[in-house]
Amino acid sequence: MSAVDFLAKEKVWFDKPRYDEAERRFYEHMNGSPQPTKDAGANTILQDIARARENIQKSLAGLKTTLCNRGSAQPPISQHSQLSTGSSISSSSADHGELVSRIKSLELENQSLHKVVENLRAALSKLECRVAVLEKSPAAVSPASAPPVPYTNGTAVQQKTSTPAKEEEEEEDDDDIDLFGSDEDEEADKLKEQRLKEYAEKKAKKPAIIAKSSILLDVKPWDDETDMAKLEECVRSVQADGLLWGTSKLVPVGYGIKKLQIACVVEDDKVGTDMLEEEITKFEDYVQSVDVAAFNKI
């Protein structure tokens, strides 16, 4: 028996998806809660499959009828049946071609994915090689001639690298040391004294630091009718070696009376506050008293 005869006699339920769809709609109508429709793409695929099955069923039915007609020697099949059979076969061949094209596209995608995976593997292998080279490079750069350092109780022990010649020189230096003193000590003492004298001479030649002070004086007049300009002129007329007058201003005291506040810089060894008070109070017509408002060392 050939494959065509076997398929013609085989009973296959090709309309099962249609019956399942009808049953689902019936139950949805009975329950009154229709479920959401499936995706449009899935529906189109299901429709294509159902159409292909129908075409296959039709083609098998046509083959079965032809075989039966040949076996029973009945008159030939009508032209209409032949046209329907040819159309079903052509539609099934079209569906088959579409499936073949989809399978080819999937194979192409699979091949491209294989290429991508191979490229990733090659890149990964290159990276592994580079990492291995980088891990080996510090070991190659580190000096190989350095001797190992011994450790005792977790601490490194310094090794003696002195040569026998150096040890002999050190022994000779120890022998040259005179523990009881010699003429070299006297020479060292003389050199030390000479250097101390030179240092003292240099220190004496340096100019001495002059101690200076900044003084702020309050000069009070007799009354509000005193000429303050004349009073300031009298104060500034006091001159001495190491005295330098500075700025001045009038500060109100009360009842229209103002006092003269004047600053000066003096050398401590040459000018004192007592001398300034004595010299300023000599101007009895203008000056009542003199007070030191501030005294600062410079």
pLDDT at 198: 85
Compute the distance between CA of residue 247 and CA of residue 264 in angstroms, rounded to an integer.
Answer: 8
Which ranges in the chain belong to alpha helices (H)?
A: 3-9, 16-31, 40-72, 79-141, 164-176, 183-205, 228-236, 273-280
Say how many domains are in the chain: 1
Q: Does the pTM exceed 0.75? A: no
Would residue 270 count as lying in a domain? yes
**CATH code: domain of residue 286:** 3.30.70.60
Which domain, by its residues, includes 229? Answer: 216-297
Full DSSP string of 207-276: PPPPPEEEEEEEEE-SSTTS-HHHHHHHHHT---TTEEEEEEEEEEEETTEEEEEEEEEEETTT--HHHH
- Mean pLDDT lowest for which of 195-199, 229-233, 277-281, 289-293? 195-199
What DSSP character marks residue 206?
S
Q: Calculate mean pLDDT across residues 163-189.
A: 61
Q: Calculate mean pLDDT across residues 138-157.
A: 47
Would residue 249 count as lying in a domain? yes
Would residue 42 count as lying in a domain? no
Report whether 263 contacts 215 (CB < 8 A): yes
Would residue 90 count as lying in a domain? no
Would residue 287 count as lying in a domain? yes
Compute the distance between CA of residue 102 and CA of residue 44 in angstroms, rounded to an integer.
Answer: 15
> Is the pLDDT confidence value at 106 over 70?
yes
Compute the distance between CA of residue 268 and CA of residue 243 in angstroms, rounded to an integer.
Answer: 10
Would residue 232 count as lying in a domain? yes
pLDDT at 298: 82
Would residue 186 count as lying in a domain? no
Rg (CA), the chain: 63
Contact partners, residue 270, CB within 8 Å, separation at least 6: 240, 241, 242, 243
Torsion of the alpha carbons at 234, 237, 240 and 246, rounded to the nearest 10: 90
Give the tens place of pLDDT for each residue, 23-50: 888 888 888 654 444 455 556 777 777 7
Q: What is the largest CA-CA distance in the chain?
A: 170
Across the chain, mean pLDDT equals 76
Give the tens place of pLDDT for each residue, 195-231: 888 888 887 777 667 889 999 999 999 998 999 999 9
Local structure of 141: helix, strand or coil: helix
Would residue 220 count as lying in a domain? yes
> Is the pLDDT confidence value at 21 over 90?
no
